[in-house]
Structures are given as C-alpha cells and as structure tokens.
Chain A
Amino acid sequence: MSLTQQIRQAKADREILLMTHLVLGYPSFAVNREVIARMVAAGVEIIELQIPFSEPVADGPVILRANQEAIDRGVRVRQCLEFAAEMTAEHQIPFLFMTYYNILFKYGVEDFLAQARKVGVRGLIIPDLPPEEGEEYLAACRKHELAPIQIFAPTSSDERMAKLAGHGDGFIYCVARRGVTGAQTSFDREFDDYIARCRRATDLPLAVGFGISNRADVEMLKGKAEIAVIGSATIRLVEEHGPAAVTEFMEGLR
C-alpha cells in the first residue's frame, strides 16, 4: 500500500493523525528505542527519524543541539540506517528519514535511497533540497518507491505550491509559520487562509508542523490537516522528564 493510501486509511478512524520526530542517537539509540516503543504504543501513526547533520540550517535551538550532541557522541550514518531497519522490523507504522541533502550527497544519492528502501523507511523529508536541485533525488525516489515529501511554506505562492505538489508524494509537510523549528505558532485567520491555499494546491494529505507542542495545538488542527507534527516538544520532554514521560504526553495529545 502506498504511504498516501496508508495515511488515508488511518485517517478514516481518527480525527487527526500524529507524526513525531526524533534525532537519531540523541541522547542515545537506547533512549530512541524506548521513546519509539512508547510513541507507537500510545498510537502515534508516523515517525520521522532525523539523521544528524552538523549544519541543520532549518532547525531551531533544541533540534540543533540534539544534532550536534549526537555527532559529538560519534553517531554515524551507517548506524542510523541499521537502527531504522530494526525499528521498521519491530513496529508496523511508517517511518521516514528527515535529514539534510549533504548526508545523501556524500553517501551517493542513489545508494542512499536504495539503502533507505532496504531498511524499510517509506519516505524522506530533506528541507534544503528544492525540486530544482533534486532531479537525481526525485528520480531515485520514484525508482525505489520512496515518497519524496515536499514542503509548503506560508511564503510559497500558489504557483509554487502547485509545482512542489507535482514533485511530491506521501503527504505535504506544511510549515506552519516563518522561522525555524521549536518556537510558538499562532493559529489565526492568516493560518486558515494559508491552509486553504495548501489544500487547493494538492490532493495529497497535509501535515502541519513547526511549533505544535500540546493538546490545544493539535485540537486546532482537527478538520484542517490530516497530520499534526510534534517535533522539538518531545525532545524537550525527554530531556526534562526522561523517556517514560512520553507515554502520558502522547496519549494526552488528542
């Protein structure tokens, strides 16, 4: 079943789906393992696995620090691939890779995507790779049946959204506001207009991320998006209260 179909099917039983994010190897693979198990048990539908990169330009301070500490602790791309293989074998939900283009480029784009397919991930989010620069990537995603998830921003014009949608698959990641990950987002009239524009530009499901951190945020997205994305909030939670706190937090989100 395609990622899009799987999302639609899951959405049939739920008002909104949850996608969570974590940085691989931060604070350790062992903690990642426990956090993921708790997320899946709490009903999270999709998990984004971020392969750390030394220059994560689209990420805010929390994820930036997590990336850096993971690299300082010696996390390697190969380990991330192995860990993903373990997770996809263990849990029946879709996993995605999120990372920056240099990780793929340095590995070899075609080789990396062949590996990604082999370890069982379903798609990728590469925030610094616009379609204009991603011909090789987009072709290899098609070949390996991986979803190249495209990103919409509030600054994207209607024409731009249509173009991005044409290159995308799986779902569209709608960045909720200007800025990097981790800060607060306000859900106002302007936000509603933006989501309406996103909806008109694509038939793919919409995920909304950046600054979604609590039940009220998720509530606001019901009826507007198919997927709510929780990013920096879980990293902060695990840092402050340990992995055990994830269960209650996730269960309380909707």
Chain B
Amino acid sequence: MKPGYYGNWGGAFVPEILHETFRQLNAFFTEAQADPAFWRQYVDLMGSYSCRPTPLTLAENLTRRFGGASIYIKREDLNHTGAHKANNVMGQGLLVQRMGKRRVIAETGAGQHGVATATMAAKFGFECTIYMGEEDVQRQRPNVFWMEKLGATVVPVTSGSRTLKDAINEAFRDWVANMDSTHYVMGTVCGPHPFPAMVAWFQKIIGEEAKEQILAAHGRLPARVYACVGGGSNAMGIFQGFLADEEVELVGVEAGGEGLTSGRHASRLAAIPTTADTDGIPDATPGVAQGYKTMFLQDDDGQMKDTHSVAAGLDYIGVSPMLADLWERGRVRMTAATDTEVMEALQLAMASEGIIPALESAHAFVQAFKEAGELSPESAIIINQSGRGDKDIFTIAHAFKDPSWREFIRAKGEEYGKEPVS
C-alpha cells in the first residue's frame, strides 16, 4: 500500500508548492516517532501542563438509571483548555520547536482547536493566526474572545459556507504563502498525509490511558466504546487503545443535525446504510478534497455540500480516512445523533452526574444512553467526553429557551449599548 493510505482512503493531494514542506514535515515526524525521548517529553508536558492522565469516571447515577452496563466516562474535558484538542496541539508544538519554525496557523470549527493552538503558541512563544468560518465566529464567540486574549489573530472566513471546511481552505492558502516560517497545526485526523498519522499518534494517549484505567476499575475490557466523530480525532484517540481487542465494539457518533433525511446534517458514514435506497439525501460518496481521499458530503458533480450540526466541531464535510477504513472493514460502527437528542442527553448528563459535556461530546452520550440498557450489568462501556460544554453556553441557553439567561443577555446588551467602549 502507498504511504499515507488506510485501505482505499487517505493520500496526499497537495499543490506542488507545498511538496517540499510536506517532505520536511514527514521527515521530522518520522524521526520524532522513532525517538522514545520525544514521546517521554510529550507525556511529561501533558502531565505537568494538561492534567494527564485524565480520569475515567464511573457514572453511577446514569448506570443505575439505564440498568445495564456500567457507564464510564473518559474525562478529556479536564484537559487544559477543556478538550482533547490539547493533546494534539501540544504534540505538534513540540514538533514545531524541533523544526525551528516561529509561526503556527490553524483552522477551527468549535473554537476548541483554535483555543488550544493559541494556548500552545503562547506557551511556546510562537506567532499565531487562527482561521474560523464567520458562522462559527458567531456561534462560538466565547472561544474567539479567548483566542484573542491569548495573543492570536482570529481571521473570520467569509467564503463558502463560512464554516470549518472554508477555514481549512484559508489556512492552506496562508500556508502556501508562508511555509518557510509557518507550521499548519491541523486539528483533526484528516487532511493530507502525514497529518492523520501524526494527529492519531498524539491522540492515542487517550486510548492507552483508558484501557489501563478500565482494566483497573472494572477488571475487564469494555463491551463498547463511544466517541463523537467530526473529523475523528477524539474517536481515533480512544479507539486506538482497543483496536486490537476484537471483543470491544467501537462506536462512532456523527452529527445527525435535524435528521438524516432533512438535508441538514453532517453525517457521512452513518447515513449510508440507513438511506441506501432513498432519493435526495445528501449521503457521502468517495471524493478527494482538502488534500485527501475519504467519504465526503458532496453532490453528483463533486461539489461539497453545506452541512449542519448544533455542534460546530462536528459540522464538517469529510471524515478521517482512518475511520472510513475502519468503518468499511466493519471494525467501527457508525451512528448519528440528532440535535434534539443531543440536547436531551446533555441535560440528563448534567442533572444526573454534574458534568457538562460539550455539544460535540454529547453526541456520544446519546448513543451510549440508547444502548446501555441492552447490555448485561457485568459489562462496562466507555463514553469519551471529548470536551466540556462551557464554550457552548450561548447555544445551550438558546436551545433551552432559558428565560432568565435571555433577560441577562438583554440587560447586558442594553448596558453595553449605553456605555461607549473605550
């Protein structure tokens, strides 16, 4: 198989101008991977700076409620900056140091990857520019605020659907002009080789920890592991701990948005078997875009479709080539959760366990809640809580139609309207 391919998927479809940059990146990555001192440096950094190992929490109240498998939650929300994104970003930061570059750029959907990258840049002393779709800038305003305060320049992208896919294109354009000084910190296990391999390598720390922790806490492997899938990095991260254990079922949960037949979702793989003989549904088909081959939400001509999810971090046209391969080979089962189901699961998780998953992560909770009761009480399942929901306060408050929050925002707006910003 060609390097950078996972079955039929992957590759490196990059413009010639970036060929040399990718050659160098590959060389530095391969060298780092072969150097045990590099991985130790990474683990130490994550331990002292990012709260690793993150705990595996037994959700006792939820377990009791569903009456089946013991529900464990892998707490990636406790990472510094509040999501699994920190793992990847700190790892790439160490690589950037090795490469001697001075500037990093990134794309971001939910803003979590942008905040993580801006944080890393502040810590390592790199210059930092973050590209973010204009629509996501609106949706994830608190994260924009943090990125700016951390010293990054946030560039709202107004082209296309003004979401993550367009931010990725803009980041590529920047890179093409500035590759000598700049590293592009890809946020997920997508894009041209070696990005999927590199991001998956840093994120495998989640799965390695989770496996050790579940064996210690429960005495056996979990029956199932659930993770939400946007690009697929938190999923690949935790799945890698269990890939070789065939008895562990791996379940990915994509964004079902307003439903798989609504035309407003971001579900690539999950939408396929259920809608095989239905017309007019924007199912994914094989394609090549943004530098790699995978299943994309595209039309008959190969133009990418608009996507939708209540969770900005899952609102993406493509999916990791690694997951496309695992799905095709039947190793990973793909499902989808709708926006409505996500809000219900979120509410339940908050009220019964006192934890606030990010809207992205809440997708994984939906599917786990649907299935936990089917399993025997001796078994265990793990939900990967990829991030915390604080960033989503505006979206969540809006969805819950919370009257006192509304009043607070209205009053704040009035207050700001009166006093000039100086």
| A interface, CB within 8 angstroms of B | 52-58, 60-61, 64-65, 68, 71, 76-77, 100-103, 105-107, 127-130, 132-133, 151-157, 160, 164, 175, 178-180, 183
Contact = CB atoms under 8 A, between A and B. Distances in A.
A178 B172 CA distance: 12
B11 A133 contact: yes
Given A68-B160, A102-B302, A178-B179, A153 B17 contact: yes
Nearest to A127: B15
B302 A53 contact: yes
A105 B296 CA distance: 12
9 contacts: A77-B301, A101-B13, A127-B15, A127-B16, A128-B14, A128-B291, A130-B16, A156-B20, A180-B173
B159 interface: yes
Contact of A57 (B2, B173, B178, B287): B173
Contacts of B176: 58, 178-180
A130 B21 CA distance: 14
A178 B177 contact: yes
Contacts of A105: 286-288, 293, 302
Interface residues of B, number: 37
Contacts of B291: 57, 128
A211 B39 CA distance: 44
B300 interface: yes
B391 interface: no
Given A68-B160, A129-B13, A130-B16, A57 B172 contact: yes
Given A101-B288, A133-B13, A57 B177 contact: no
B164 to A, nearest CB: 12
Interface string B340-379: 0000000000000000000000000000000000000000
Contacts of A54: 160, 289, 303-304
Nearest to A164: B16
B303 A153 contact: no
B19 interface: yes
Contacts of A64: 159, 169
Given A54-B304, A102-B289, A68 B159 contact: yes
A175 B13 contact: no
Contact of A55 (B165, B178, B300): B165
A71 B298 CA distance: 13
B200 interface: no
Contacts of B285: 106
Contacts of A153: 15-17, 19
A153 B14 CA distance: 12
B290 interface: yes
Nearest to A152: B16
B168 to A, nearest CB: 8
Contacts of B289: 54-55, 100, 102
Interface string B277-298: 0000000011111110100101
Contacts of A68: 159-160
B110 interface: no
A100 B303 CA distance: 11
Nearest to A173: B16
B177 A180 contact: yes
Contact of B302 (A61, A107, A160, A164): A107
B17 A106 contact: no
A178 B302 contact: no
Nearest to B17: A153
A55 B11 CA distance: 17
Contacts of B169: 55-57, 64
A106 B301 contact: yes
Contacts of A61: 159
Given A68-B159, A68-B160, A160-B19, 18 more contacts: A52-B303, A54-B304, A55-B165, A55-B169, A55-B290, A77-B301, A102-B298, A103-B302, A105-B288, A128-B14, A130-B19, A133-B11, A133-B13, A153-B15, A155-B18, A156-B20, A164-B16, A178-B17
Interface in B152-184: 159-160, 165, 169, 172-173, 176-179
Contacts of A155: 16-21, 179
Contact of A151 (B16, B172, B293): B16
A187 B299 CA distance: 42
A164 B296 CA distance: 29
Contacts of B12: 130, 132-133
Contacts of A130: 12-14, 16, 19
A153 B20 CA distance: 10
A138 B293 CA distance: 18
Contacts of A53: 302-303
A61 to B, nearest CB: 8
Contacts of B301: 76-77, 103, 106-107
A102 B297 CA distance: 12
A106 B298 contact: yes
- Most chain B CB atoms below 10 A, which of A102, A103, A130: A102
The residue in B16, B169, B303, B304 that gathers the most chain A C-beta atoms within 10 A of its C-beta is B16
Between A56, A106, A178, the greatest number of chain B beta carbons within 10 A of the residue's beta carbon is seen for A106
A155 B11 CA distance: 21
